[in-house]
Structure 1
Amino acid sequence: MGHRSKTKSIKAKAPSSSKRVPAHRVAKSYHVPESATEIPKDSVNRRIVFRFDCVDLEADCPWSLAHMSDEEHRLLLLKMRDFEKATVGEIISPSYQAFTCYPDFTQCPNQTPQDRLAKYYEREGDALAQFRLGGTERLYGFLVGNEFHILWWDPNHEVWPSTRKHT
């Protein structure tokens, strides 16, 4: 990763020389407390901003922004521009329907993102979240106040697959 967040709540992990913990045990240690989904009152009326300090650019990342096509990049920038017009309060509203916060990512049916989070990030209470950009396109990251720290670009809805068709 190589990128360190300037916020205290998200830190990239340094490579470990110790024995790797089996994957089925790693994900169970990753749990975001329910309080992480509570947005501070001073953030609710602020517009959402995007940060790139947590982007997963590792070569083995299946959802790296580095793998985007020119058209996907264009779509992402247009959507981000639209999202930045909204306040955090508007985005987290159930009527917004383009944002989901995951208070317990261990419930994710895909083990790969759980393993990547455990391998590369130390969690101190911020919730993993996603913006829906289109039919299957998703942008994952950490919501910290009014800052969305981008992590993954998921063009095929693979990080947290839906059982519904065309989503």
Structure 2
Amino acid sequence: MAKPDKQPKFGANPPGKKKPVVREHCFEDGHPLAWRFGQVDKAGPFAWDIHPFDKFHEVVHKLIEFEDKNWNEITANGSHPIETSQLSAQARSRLIEIERDDLDYLLSLRLSGPNRVWCVKTGHIIRPLWWDENHQVYPVKRDPVDRKKEKRRKK
């Protein structure tokens, strides 16, 4: 039988002791961003095959920077979900080939200029699928973020 005057060792924070750190950069499900690379497309026109190594290092570094952002910060910099029906014919065809045509949308992570990493997002879990160096998965004439930057420069 436990002694009534003993304090539990775990589960309580006595006054003046360290408190758990609460991360501000959480997604809608309350967790920080987490990457899962097990489902990257290793073939096809948007294969996760980044060369040279310096470019691969740059891409990974940019992805690491996303970990310190919440969803609002990520979307404020030009990253956004795109319905798969809006993707290029080549991208839609590749989704069929890799049996991922059940997806309603993909997340376009804007790294810089035309560089995109296309992902599947489920809550706070982001699964990179494609590397799109030249904005071919969802071609646009000019990126809206770049247009905003041009407007600021002209002012």
TM bin (shorter chain):
0.5 to 0.7
Identity of aligned residues (%): 24
What's the counterpart of residue 34 of structure 2?
A: 49
How far is 1:139 from its partner? 0.2
2-side partners of 1:126 and 1:64: how far apart?
20
What's the counterpart of residue 122 of structure 2?
A: 144
Q: Following superposition of structure 1 onto structure 2, how do residues 8-157 of structure 1 map, counting pairs within 5 Å?
A: 43-44=27-28, 45-58=30-43, 61-92=44-75, 96-102=76-82, 104-108=83-87, 110-122=88-100, 127-157=105-135
Assess, with a 3 A threshold, how the Cα gap between structure 1 residues 162 and 138 changes in structure 2: closer, same or farther.
same
Question: 1:128·1:142 contact (CA, 8 Å) conserved in 2?
Answer: yes
Assess, with a 3 A threshold, how the Cα gap between structure 1 residues 126 and 146 changes in structure 2: closer, same or farther.
farther
2-side partners of 1:63 and 1:99: how far apart?
18
2-side partners of 1:147 and 1:138: how far apart?
18
- The SS at the match of 2:81 is strand
- The SS at the match of 1:56 is coil
TM-score using structure 2 length: 0.67
Q: Deviations over 1:23-53 (max 9, x none)?
A: xxxxxxxxxxxxxxxxxxx942422221112
Question: 1:139·1:152 contact (CA, 8 Å) conserved in 2?
Answer: yes
- The SS at the match of 1:79 is helix
Partner amino acid, structure 1, of 2:62 = K
1-side partners of 2:137 and 2:100: how far apart?
19
What's the counterpart of residue 152 of structure 2?
A: none
Question: 1:47·1:88 contact (CA, 8 Å) conserved in 2?
Answer: no
Structure 1 gap ranges (5+)? 1-41
1-side partners of 2:132 and 2:60: how far apart?
15
Question: 1:126·1:144 contact (CA, 8 Å) conserved in 2?
Answer: no
TM-score using structure 1 length: 0.62
Q: Which has the higher contact order (CA 8 A, sep 6+)?
A: 1
Match for residue 158 of structure 1 among 136, 140, 143: 136
2-side partners of 1:113 and 1:68: how far apart?
21
1-side partners of 2:27 and 2:116: how far apart?
23
Structure with larger Rg? 2
Partner amino acid, structure 1, of 2:34 = V
Give the length in aligned residue pairs.
Answer: 119
